[in-house]
Amino acid sequence: MAPDPAGTGAGAAAPSVSVVVTVLKDPRVARTLESLLAQDLPPLEILVDDGGGTDAVRRITEPFSRRDPRVVHLDAPGNIPESRNTALRVARGEFIAFLDADEVAPPGWLRELLRPFADPRVGFVGGPTPALPETLRSVGARYYDGYLRRFYDRVARDHPHALPMGNSAWRARVFREVGELDTTLYRRAASEDQEIALRALAGGFTGVYQPTAWVGHDFSDITTLGLLRKQRIYAEGGYVLWRRRGSTYEASAGRVAPYLVPPGLLLAGVLLLVPTPTRTLGEYLLAAAGGSLGVLAAVLSVQGWLADREYPGLRYRALEILRRWATLYGAFRGLLHFGLSGRGRPPT
């Protein structure tokens, strides 16, 4: 029997896999490392990709390194793509898997993640990141968990470039052939995972969503306000990628329009309240703004309740209004900071 390069079949040769754990001052990395040392498909090495700031991660990593020399601490200061590029330059595996410090992998994770590589055309694979149930401590966290479950099932499955790099695996030669992660994007949320995926797809590789390769995601730090702030930051990075690469997987005129109607009516109503001749029209528009917002919230709530059995957390789908507004605000900030081309001088 010829060896399977992904090591997925009975009697197949074990694959050579480097696992890169991206971390910035997050003590939860200890739990991540424990889960990696318990994999039933042992990785060649586990690179703790430390973005810096303090020596806390080094102190956490040292006992693991003494226990198992495969665990290696890397000083990798910078933003996420800069830090990951540092790991890519030293990784020795034929495959490179990425995990974040707030994720926990079940024992069969790595084996499941590598299965699609039996097809030599596959360049990268990603899996879902459902929340660890005990960490769902806010309405925002519960909704985000339901949203992500639906996102993986309905979006990432058909648009592999939408798969986040946290919980993904790549052939190392993808990076040799199409280049390293782009460090010129928005530094706070670079969207470098989508950008490199687009380059890989353009280079002839394929991407695969592997639903069985899930990892538990710690949502204990997600509040409703924090979720909206994070969405705004992601949207600013997404705007830059959209303008540079022309690619998006969520925004479209039809999807955005319903969320623009209420604030549009509100703004028009406020402006028309000032001149006396148009005051009555302004009052009507303000009432229409409130009514349209109520209808939108009701429709989303009904849709969410119907979908909640399949995607728990979607019962709070009315929060999608605020999430979409945060997205639009982030995109607007991207326009101001980076211009229409997305290549303007980024904020410091």
Instruction: Please state the pTM of the whole predicted model.
Output: 0.90
Q: How far is CA 153 from CA 52, 149, 157, in A?
A: 35, 6, 6
Q: Is the model's pLDDT at 325 over the cut of 70?
A: yes
Confidence of residue 59 (pLDDT cuts 50, 70, 90): very high
pLDDT value at residue 346 = 60
Determine the average pLDDT of the residues in 318-335: 94
pLDDT value at residue 342 = 87
Q: What percent of the chain has pLDDT above 90?
A: 82
Q: Which class for 45: exposed (0-12), middle (13-18), buried (19 or more C-beta within 10 A)?
A: middle
Determine the average pLDDT of the residues in 197-201: 96
Chain mean pLDDT for the chain:
92
Q: Is the model's pLDDT at 12 over the cut of 60?
A: no
Q: Is the model's pLDDT at 118 over the cut of 80?
A: yes
Phi, psi of 95, deg, nearest 5: -120, 150
Q: How far is CA 87 from CA 20, 57, 200, in A?
A: 7, 15, 19
Determine the average pLDDT of the residues in 109-122: 97
pLDDT digit string, tens, across residues 275-307:
989 999 999 999 999 999 999 999 999 999 999
Q: What percent of the chain has pLDDT above 70?
A: 93
Q: How far apart are CA 11 and CA 9, in angstroms?
A: 6
pLDDT value at residue 10 = 42
pLDDT value at residue 185 = 87
Determine the average pLDDT of the residues in 330-341: 92
Q: Which amino acid is at 303?
A: Q
User: Which residue is it, tokens 């148009």?
Assistant: 278
Confidence of residue 3 (pLDDT cuts 50, 70, 90): very low
pLDDT digit string, tens, across residues 124-140:
999 999 999 999 999 99
